[in-house]
Amino acid sequence: MNHPPITAAGAARLRAELEELKSVKRPAVIEAIAEARAHGDLKENAEYAAAREQQGFIEGRIKQLEGELSHAQIIDVSKLTAGDKVVFGATVTLLDTATEQEVTYQIVGDLEADIKQRLIAISSPIARALIGKHEGDEVTLEAPGGTHAFEILEVKYV
């Protein structure tokens, strides 16, 4: 059976989302459905249709989160001892050698990836290029916009 990795912090965020879906959003949509039913004819009731659609999304997300969390391998990043080597869970500071801009990413599981929060999936091209490298190494990445070269400035596990 496949056990996709997830950080302990990512698992906590997903459990919090699951709890909110079950305890807040699910009861709210059930109440909205009941209220819309009270308005009469369900065939022409847009509120009822919208509430039912929302319920479908919520139930689908609950099933997805429960399934993923039940099969995930939770890794406590703070207990990793990989030194300056990039492995799953590492927070890596990179220097784009062309633009001289620094950027920091954490390599996380696919489920918890969020580029806005600088969390990149282990399956992403940049993460795959970084895995196994060390501080000071240069990494070249082929992207649709061309080739990018990065220098690994820092690797930490927090």
Mean residue pLDDT across the chain: 90
Percent of the chain with pLDDT over 70: 98
Q: How distant is the alpha carbon of residue 81 from its chain centre? A: 23
Name the DSSP letter for residue 134: B
Q: What is the pLDDT of residues 69-83, one digit of tens each?
A: 999 999 988 888 778
State both tokens at 93.
């500071």
Name the DSSP letter for residue 40: S
What strands lie across the sheet with 102-108, from one edge to the other?
119-121, 102-108, 91-96, 146-156, 138-143
In this prediction, residue 158 has a pLDDT band, given cuts at 50, 70 and 90, of confident
